[in-house]
Every structure is written in C-alpha cells, then in structure tokens.
Amino acid sequence: MTDRLDPALIDAVSELRGAVADARFPLETPDAQEVRDQRGQLLRQLDDYALPRLRDLDAPLLCVVGGSTGAGKSTLVNSLLGDVLTTSGVLRPTTRASVLIHHPADAGWFTTDRVLPELARLTGGPAGLGDASAVRLVESRALRPGLALLDAPDIDSVVEANRDLARQLLGAADLWIFVTTAARYADAVPWQMLLQAAERGTSVALVLDRVPAGAMDEVLTDFSAMLREQGLGDAPVFAVPESQLTEDGLLPPEEVGDVRGWLHNLADDADARQVVIRRTLAGTLASLDRRSHAVAQGVDSQVAVLDALREDARLGHADARERVEESMSDGTLLRGEVLARWQELVGTGEIFKQLDAGVGRLRDRVAGFFTGRRPTAATEDLGEALEEGVAQLLESQLEAAAAVTARAWRADPAGAALLERHPELSRPGAGVRERTQALVHDWQSDLLEMVRRQAGSKRTTARYLAIGVNGLGVLLMLLAFASTGGALLGSEVAIAGGSAVVAQRILEAIFGDQAVRSLAAAARVRLMERVEDLLAQERGRFDAVLDEVGVSAQVAQRLREAAARVEAHR
C-alpha cells in the first residue's frame, strides 16, 4: 500500500508543529504547569507519531505494551515471543530503558530517528535496565515483519522519568496493548490513560492478567462493562489466567495463545494493519484542534498576565508623574530652604505693604538685592535651594514609582518570580541622584533660553539689566512652583503666596502680564516633558524585563490558524 495522503496535510501538520514549538510559558500563571505539560505532550506526539506516520503510512505498526507497576508487561512480551528479550527491575521502582522488539527485516524503520527522535538508540538484548532517555532495539524472528512491540515503563511509577517516558511512548503508538490485573483493573491511573486513548481515537487492546480461574467470567463481565461505559467497548479484550511461570519466567504458551494469534494475524494482514494505523492517525489528527487551542489559551493567559504586569508599571509611574505635577502647583517646593532663601532675598514682613505701595518700589527693592553687594550669593542660594528641592522631589517619586510597581508585581505569582530574578527593580535605576540633578540643570537652561528669547530688544533696558538673565530665570523657576492651592498652612501660605506674587509682579514689570503667564506655563510644560522622559526610562526597566519573557499574542494566533489549516485538510 502506498502513501496517498494529501501533501498539504503533512505541510499543515508540520506548520502546526512549529507553532507548538514556539509556544512558551515562562510566567508562573495558575495554569502554567498544566499547559506546559499539554504543550510537551502535544509536541512529542507530533514528533514521535503524527508526522512520522503521515510521511510513512507503510511503516511497521508500532504496538506499545503499557500498564501499571507489577502488571506483568515484560513477562507478557517475553511469553508472546518465547524468549527473555526484555527484563523488568527486580527492585521497584527501577529507572529502565524502553525495549523495542522488531523483526530483522524491519530494522531500517527504527534504527534512525524517524520515530521517537529524542531517544538515543541502544542495541542488543536481553535488556531492560538502563537509561530512560534511550530505547533499546532488539531483533526477534519470533515477531512477524510489519509489527513491532515496545515494552514501556510503568505508567504509575514513582520515578518521574519512568512516568514521562511511558506517556511519551504511548503517544507514539499505533496500537496500545494495555496490561492490567484482575486485582487492579479499576485503578484510577490506568483508566486516566485509557480515557485519554478514547478521546484521541487511539486503537487499544486490553490484556487482563492473573485472573483467578474461578472468577474469569465475573471479572471479564465487569471489566467489559466498564470499557463500554467509557467508549472502549470495541477494544479487543484478552484474559490471561493466573498461572505458574516456567523456569525461564514465562507464561505457559497456551495461556497467551489468543494474544499471540491476534498479533500474528495483524502482522500478516496489511489491510488490517492499515485499518488500525489509519484509525489511530485519524483520531490523533482529530484531537489536534482541541489540544492546540488549549495550548493557545495557555499563551493567552501568559499574555494577559504580561499585559497586567505592564499596566502595573504604567500606573505606578503615571501616579508618580501626577504627584510631581501636583507638587508643582500646591506650593510644596516652597517650603523649608527655598522659603528661607526667598526671605533672605526679598524679606517677608513688608511684602504686602510693598505690593500696596506699587510694584515700582518693590521692584527697586528686589533689584537692589540683585545689584547690591551680594547679588551672586543671593540668587545662587535661592536657585540652588530650588534645584535641590526639585531634585529631591523627583528622586522621591522615582523611588515611590519603583516601590509601588514592585508591590503590585509581588501580588501576582508571575510578577513575584520576576522580582526574585530582578531585585533591582524594587528601587530606582543606577545613578538616580545624578540623573535628577542633570534633569534640573537642563531645565534651568531651558528657562534661561526662554528668558533670553522673551527679552529680545529689552536686554539693554535698565529693568532687565538690574536683575539679569540668571535672576529672571530664578524668578521664573520660583513662579513655576508658586500656585499654592491652599496646601500650605498658616504663615507659610502668606509667605509662599507672597513669593509668587512678588516674582510674578517683577517679571510682569519687564515682560508684561500675558508674556509672564505664557512663560510660566511653558516652564511647567518643559519640566514635565523632562520628567516624563525620566519616568519613561525608569518604567522601561520593567518593560525590558517583560520583553525578555518572550511571550507574544501572535504565537497564540499562529497556533489557532495552523490548527484550522490542519482541520481543513484533515
């Protein structure tokens, strides 16, 4: 029989395989471990079974013998072949290599990585103990060409490597021969595997081992009823009575004659083999859409958590921006050292009297300070106090943004895991003090340039020269933070408010009221632009960590599209 499958179907399954391989689940979401397992099982079955079988429908039928610990799998295999070709561990549990037994004429199908490409190949026999990452190939002429038997580890082994390998091998099978005992056929673990076979349409045969002679009919009737209830009523069932083993540890030949005859007939009948192969292949292909969508949903969960963590970072730094902006208008920066330096420059006791007397006299007084004996010290002290206040404000808000974001991330297991790997995110980035001071210096340069441009031809006027560009820049800087909004209490309100009015009146006397309002607004805008850039840099540290995760919604979309193409060609 030749391969008559549509090549487009093989291409579609290959594309799906690539999409499944690209799916990643690095974040510790609630469903992460489950979907990692689903993805691993799906990827292995595509590699171990679906693609090899699609490419070679005529390859020998691979029959995997599986079951629970102590069910007698290896004994059954050896008894079917009349020789000890596979051994079980005397001690339980024992990590053991799987054993694949085939006719010498079929060696070429199994010595390459056509099936089970992840497992290394070992040769020779009898064998059993060994590396769970390898499959041992054993030739036997007692087995007919066209059918191979693979003795798998226990599906319920306490050794995780054994359990994983057993499930991988069962996923690579055209046919399961599932071995259980009369005492344990109702155990949960075997039935989980059988139900998985029923869901995927895998061909299954069952061997009920060690059945007491007097209980044969009762046990078979009950077992068969359970199979029908679970959709496995058509599966062949063989019963092996409890028997005395031969000196070689084999079951009497007559007790396994039905199973042996069924396997020989299957090996000899190419059409019958194709029925089994195509049934299992069709079931596997039919399961790909559902299983691929489950993996895609897992990617969706990862993306949703990633987006939530990114939003936490955005909100934490947006809050910091709002607090900086509020501090620019509520007078917070005019406390402490700034007020002291302003008092030294202007004085406070007679501020409102001076305002009542007119801006000219007040301007003359301020100009006296700028042009008197200590003009440089007075203006520099006030400017430095403002500069330090702004830098401290920004530094504190950067610290708050990092702390708020880190606290939000710790509330999510995925975010907490990322913080464990990147503890530096809980505090601002390196050189925060230098960066905030540089920001303020750059902003001061902006203000001085604004003052120069606004002055224009006024640069030679007495008023302009009396205060100078540096002094006017300090006044503009002060005015940018001087809208108190009632935030300061008691005498501080009067002092801060008076500071604002004095700075505004002096600037208006030189530039006019409309120009001063424009200058103050522009000064705030320039500062907030620089603050936003700084906060973006800080937020970028969080975004960079999230970008490194490598989760993309496009992967989920690609998975769904690839699964849809498989379904269409199937």
What are the sequence ranges of the domains in the chain? 59-268, 309-557
Q: Look at residue 156 in the predicted model and tell me its pLDDT.
A: 83
Q: Cα(527)–Cα(285) distance, rounded to whole angstroms?
A: 61
Q: What is the DSSP-derived secondary structure letter of residue 158?
A: S
Q: Cα(177)–Cα(228) distance, rounded to whole angstroms?
A: 17
Residue indicated by tokens 């406390």 = 335
Q: Treating both helix axes as pointing N-terminal to C-terminal, what angle do 270-329 and 553-569 enclose, rounded to 10 degrees?
A: 160
Q: Cα(538)–Cα(396) distance, rounded to whole angstroms?
A: 13
Look at residue 109 and give its three-state secondary structure: helix
348-362 pLDDT tens trace: 433 334 334 444 554
Q: What is the DSSP-derived secondary structure letter of residue 201?
A: T
Burial of 108 (0-12, 13-18, 19+ CB in 10 A): exposed
CB count within 10 Å of CB 485 equals 10
Q: For the whole model, what pTM was predicted? A: 0.78
Overall fold of domain 59-268: Rossmann fold (3.40.50)
Which residue type sits at 541?
Answer: R
Q: Cα(144)–Cα(277) distance, rounded to whole angstroms?
A: 17
Listed in order, strand segments (DSSP E) in 163-275 are: 175-181, 203-211, 237-241
Residue indicated by tokens 């050189």 = 431
Say if residues 126 and 183 touch (Cβ distance below 8 Å): no
Alpha helices (H) in 330-374, listed in sequence order: 336-346, 351-357, 359-371
Q: Which residues contact 226 (CB under 8 A, 6 or more apart)?
A: 185, 186, 191
Q: Look at residue 370 in the predicted model and tell me its pLDDT.
A: 45
Return the percentage of the chain with pLDDT > 90, whole number.
Answer: 51
In the chain, which stretches have pLDDT less than 70? 1-4, 88-97, 124-131, 329-381, 457-467, 482-500
b or e along 284-323 (b: 16 or more beta carbons within 10 Å of the residue's beta carbon)?
Answer: bbebbbebbbbbbbbbbbbbebbeebeebbeebbeebbeb
Say if residues 298 and 25 touch (Cβ distance below 8 Å): yes
Q: What is the DSSP-derived secondary structure letter of residue 424?
A: G
Say if residues 519 and 511 touch (Cβ distance below 8 Å): yes
Say if residues 49 and 61 touch (Cβ distance below 8 Å): no
In order, the DSSP letters of 23-39 are: ----S--TTHHHHHHHH
